[in-house]
Amino acid sequence: MTVVAQMNLVQAINDALKLEMKRDPRVVVLGEDVGRVGGVFRVTQGLWDEFGDERVVDTPLSEGGILGTAIGMALYGLRPVPEIQFADFIYPGYDQIVSELAKMRWRSGGEYSAKMVVRTPVGGGIRGGLYHSQSPESLFIHVAGLKVVCPASPYDAKGLLLAALRDPDPVLFFEPKRIYRAARGDVPEGDYTVELGKARIVREADRTSGEPAVTILAWGAMLYEAVAAAEKAAEQGIESEIVDLRTLWPVDIDTIAASVEKTGRVIVVHEAPKTCGFGAELIALINERCFLSLEAPPVRVAGFDTPFPYTLEMDYLPLAHRILPAIVQTAKY
Amino acid sequence: MRLVTRVIVLLSRAMQHAAPDPSSASPLPLSGSEDLVRSERDGGVGVAFRPALDAVGEALLRHMVRARVVSARMVGLQRSEKIGYHHASLGEEAAIVGAVLAMRATDWIFPGAREWYAGLARGLPLGVYVHHAFGSAEDPTNGHAAPDHAPARALHVVPPSGVIGAHLPQAVGAAWAAKIERANVATLALFGAEVAASGDFHNALNFGGVFKAPVVFVCRAKPDARIVDRAVAYGLASARVDGADALAVFTVVKAALARATEGKGPTLVEVVSPSLERVTAGAIDDAALAAGDVLDLGAGDPVARLGALLARENRASAGAQKVLAAEVMAELDAAVLAAERAGAPAPATIFEHVYAGVPAHLAAERQRLTGAQWDGGGG
């Protein structure tokens, strides 16, 4: 019988890193203060003590340097896991990700690949202001050659990270920092993976009543807001089916399409600005796949097309109180 | 060996924390325009030393002649629009060939596009290089990468990036990985002086210095660039070498490699490239090439200089170089013909190697592309 422990997201990710570092000597963690300090959010706590300073490396403060050298390590055959302290700081290393990491396999005709998992916290709601709150997933989904993952539960965080570490392609692993400690759940001890590219139905819509139902697509911290809004909507007799995308790219369009065909209505929730956010792509894909099933215009409940505000962050975020009216309006359309 | 040791001493003097041994320290300066490292055999002035020639001189010359002829031919193919473009390396042969041959076969090379000859120097067949330049069906990258960006993984040569300088921190990372793995492997990063303006240059020298990665940076520069002065800020050893003097480049890079493998960290080598009159004037044309007249492009030509040196020492003859050039030309003719005959890669290859597998969305796009061609009735 699998032993199960209660963990939060930080503990689950730490557990996965520890497990894989034991299993695979090629895995090397590097980043700013990931060693002795254990990372700004303590996600890598204890790794330095266990694996030493050659496998858990404190680097100079330069994301371009961290990612550039990590690519070289990966070319050589290691499995680096660079941590970018906040996703907001990934841009100095963006060129290494876009021009090098994502294209290495393609431009070398498959001779070389640079396998790594780039871990970085995303999202707002922690009083972090505009440089500690961003959700840049669509900037990476748009780049061919990358996979993008964003877990919402501790169980998925561990299983997805283990799968990401063993996947042959480079993976951006976005960790929703607002729920780093708030999200708690059962996590099995030992080895298991959650397959990349598979969404999860978190809440199923009951269509037996004949009342209108909506599909809500969400990931990361906003999944919990979607669930809260769906519970309120249920009190008004509106059924919601919630899909946690888990892997943002390649996206599980089959699960999404099946749900939208069932409900005929869809709402996408994300923290990133609305324009050219991943919601735009999701809705385009839904239009391509299930246009004739739609009974209402697809809706996006997203961050505003502004930088992320410090004081008014709870007004910026697409929280449950903003999702609920969208559910009601879409259901009644 | 004593000569190599002496160069190491020269190199180590650039390290601020290195205490020079008064009995062996070189009296020669490491700053100022007169400090170029040159080989005495080549009749140069400056920081002169007498390198061992043995088989190295001949191997250097053979590769330099080959690099010269191939580049001259590629310039012509670009002019006639048979290939998209070519990063001409005329006059840079001593820097590129000298540095690559100084490394061991197990060391990794990170060239820029202009150092495309690195792969050929390691043994990449000329035919493969030409297929790649044409982006043919037999290009190892499936026509994905533009000319002069070929990979040669079996030879530990990483494909150049189109982003100037992006490969520098990668060379540090690979060297650092080798160090972690306790492998006796060093890396060589080749680049032009323009890279010294980039953030990647700073990141590479900084990370390389901090982690004492076994990496050798070789920068080709014009005489007034003085990139070498940056080394001291990162605690790296450095040297400035005459780029017309292949033996000097070879010896200095060998010394830098020795430092790297001894755990002493990176060295920044600046190779001062010659400005060749006939290159500046654009006077390299197919007629000159056909006549075999590309082995002396003006004063300071590294190919001509090494050729003359070896001839003086009865190790080579001008006639032998012409014969070699003609052989390379014949090899090129056959390679160009083969590349033209091979045609373009199949359209479906666009979707290969984006990921390790072909995800559903790419399979669908591939189907649309190849299906549309069938629908078009052979268009």
| Optimal mutation site among B163, B176, B349, B368, interface A, most CBs of chain A within 10 A | B176
Indicate if B119 and B210 belong to the same structural domain: yes
pLDDT at B280: 81
pLDDT at B25: 31
Inter-residue contact B189 to B242 (CB < 8 Å): no
pLDDT at B373: 52
pLDDT at B46: 53
Indicate if B282 and B313 belong to the same structural domain: yes
Which of these ranges, A9-13, A209-213, B26-30, B222-226, has the smallest mean pLDDT?
B26-30
Indicate if B360 and B247 belong to the same structural domain: no
Give, as one character, the DSSP assignment of residue A97: I
Torsion angle in degrees (nearest 10) through CA of A199, A90, A13, A193? 40
pLDDT at B54: 73
Span A132-148, pLDDT tens digits:
999 999 999 999 999 99
Q: Give the model's confidence band at B317: pLDDT under 50 very low, under 70 low, under 90 confident, else very high.
A: confident
pLDDT at A84 over 90: yes
Residue with tokens 């020669």: B28
pLDDT at A201 over 50: yes
Write the CB contacts of B75 (distance below 8 Å, at least 6 apart in sequence).
B86, B88, B90, B284
| Intra-chain end-to-end CA distance of chain B, in Å | 65
Contact B158 A112 (CB under 8 A): yes
**Per the structure block, which two tokens stand in for B170?**
């990668």
Q: Give the model's confidence band at A208: pLDDT under 50 very low, under 70 low, under 90 confident, else very high.
A: confident
Indicate if B323 and B237 belong to the same structural domain: yes
Query: What range defines the domain where residue B357 resides?
Result: 347-375
Amino acid type, B128: V
pLDDT at A292 over 90: yes
Inter-residue contact A331 to A265 (CB < 8 Å): yes
Helix B93-102 × helix B246-261 angle, to 10°: 40
Torsions phi, psi for A240 (to 5 deg): -125, 140
Indicate if B248 and B306 belong to the same structural domain: yes
pLDDT at B41: 53
Interface of A with B (CB under 8 A): 28, 54-55, 57, 59-60, 62, 64-65, 67-78, 80, 92, 95-96, 99-100, 105-113, 144-145, 147, 168-169, 197, 250, 253
Write the CB contacts of B280 (distance below 8 Å, at least 6 apart in sequence).
none
Name the CATH superfamily for A7-188.
Thiamin diphosphate (ThDP)-binding fold, Pyr/PP domains (3.40.50.970)
Which residues of chain B lie closer than 8 angstroms to A92, CB-CB? 199
Inter-residue contact B46 to B252 (CB < 8 Å): no
Indicate if B273 and B357 belong to the same structural domain: no
Q: Give the model's confidence band at B10: pLDDT under 50 very low, under 70 low, under 90 confident, else very high.
A: very low
Report ipTM for this prediction.
Answer: 0.96
Indicate if B364 and B258 belong to the same structural domain: no
pLDDT at B8 over 80: no
Indicate if B146 and B281 belong to the same structural domain: yes
- Chain A residue closest to B204 (CA)? A65
Indicate if B217 and B253 belong to the same structural domain: yes
Contact A76 B174 (CB under 8 A): yes
Indicate if B36 and B154 belong to the same structural domain: yes
pLDDT at B314: 83
Span B163-197, pLDDT tens digits:
999 999 999 999 999 999 999 999 999 999 999 99
> Å from A28 to nearest chain B CA?
9
Beta strands in B243-348 (DSSP E): 267-272
pLDDT at A1: 56
Indicate if B220 and B362 belong to the same structural domain: no
Where are chain A's structural domains?
Answer: 7-188, 200-332
Catalytic residue check, A142? no
Prediction pTM value: 0.93
| Optimal mutation site among A81, A111, A147, A251, interface B, most CBs of chain B within 10 A | A111
Inter-residue contact A88 to A131 (CB < 8 Å): yes
Domain count, chain B: 2
Q: Give the model's confidence band at A12: pLDDT under 50 very low, under 70 low, under 90 confident, else very high.
A: very high
**The domain defined by A200-332 carries CATH number 3.30.565.10:** no
What average pLDDT score do residues A93-105 get?
98
Span B286-301, pLDDT tens digits:
788 877 789 999 989 9
- Chain A residue closest to B201 (CA)? A65
* Domains A7-188 and A200-332 belong to one CATH topology: yes
| Optimal mutation site among B131, B163, B191, B355, interface A, most CBs of chain A within 10 A | B355
Indicate if B109 and B212 belong to the same structural domain: yes
pLDDT at A320 over 60: yes
Where residue B265 sits, what CATH number does that domain have?
3.40.50.970
Span A155-181, pLDDT tens digits:
999 999 999 999 999 999 999 999 999
